[in-house]
Structure 1
Amino acid sequence: MTTPSVPEPVASFIEHVNAHDEGAFLDAFVAEGVVDDWGRTFTGRAAIKTWSDKEFIGSRGTLTVEEVDVAGSTVTVVGDWRSNHANGRSRFVFDVDGDKIASMTIREG
């Protein structure tokens, strides 16, 4: 199976997540970046870090990319998420702002 090509900055973001690199993960977002995790919204570095400490980087999560769609500055990645917190096929929708991520929305894949 061929892994779909993921554009930057999302490709690097996924590499940082899979390496459990919290600093690079947080640095990937704009200053007031947003994470929407199944309807729960976390805005700004401190809120994203608190959420991630339990449910994302802190849970040793990894994402195996299965599908990619690009529409303008929106990149949608569907893949298999595995962590100590939650597992399963998930849809990650990234709104990109230049070389940073403005928002990441996580839903069922």
Structure 2
Amino acid sequence: MAASTVPEPVASFIAAVNRHDEQAFLDAFAPDGAVDDWGRTFNGREQIKAWSDKEFIGSHGTLAVEEVETAGDTITVIGDWRSDHANGRSKFVFDVGGDKLAKMTIREG
């Protein structure tokens, strides 16, 4: 499925990730946003940045979107993740609050 079918604000978030734009990546999250990466939770901008520096933006990650599902304020994206840290099909579940991401959960796709 084309990335253009991904609703906002997730579409802009994925574009920021794929161009390794750390500021846009961080700005996509609500101030109290969180990342749950396979059961490890990172809360707030400082923890998200520290995690991302090593495992997400800092590892030159890119996501090729394959499937998208929307249910209320939850957008699920399944795609092929490629980075210097980890590779493979992954499921990204985004809890959206207004125009910001409240939480991103990463699991096996």
The TM tier, using the shorter chain, reads: over 0.9
Q: TM-score, normalized by length of structure 2?
A: 0.98
Match of 1:56 in 2: 56
Per-residue displacement from partner, 1:5-40 (whole Å, max 9, x unpaired)?
Answer: 000000000000000000000000000100000000
Moved over 3 A (4+): none
Match of 2:108 in 1: 108
Give the distance between the partners of 1:19 and 1:100, measured in 2 at CA.
19
Q: The residue matched to 1:52 in structure 2 has which SS?
A: helix
Give the distance between the partners of 2:44 and 2:32, measured in 1 at CA.
4
What is the RMSD of the two structures over their aligned residues, measured on CA atoms?
0.7
Pairing of 1:1-109 with structure 2 (within 5 A): 2-3=1-2, 5-109=5-109
Q: The residue matched to 1:17 in structure 2 has which SS?
A: helix
**How many residues get paired?**
108
Structure 2: gaps (5+ residues): none
Aligned residues: percent identity?
74
Structure 1: gaps (5+ residues): none
Q: How far off is 1:3 after superposition? A: 1.4
Q: The residue matched to 2:103 in structure 1 has which SS?
A: strand
Q: The residue matched to 2:68 in structure 1 has which SS?
A: strand
Q: TM-score, normalized by length of structure 1?
A: 0.98
Per-residue displacement from partner, 1:35-92 (whole Å, max 9, x unpaired)?
Answer: 0000000000000000000000000000000000000000000000000000000000
Give the distance between the partners of 2:22 and 2:76, measured in 1 at CA.
22
Letter in 2 for 1:87: N
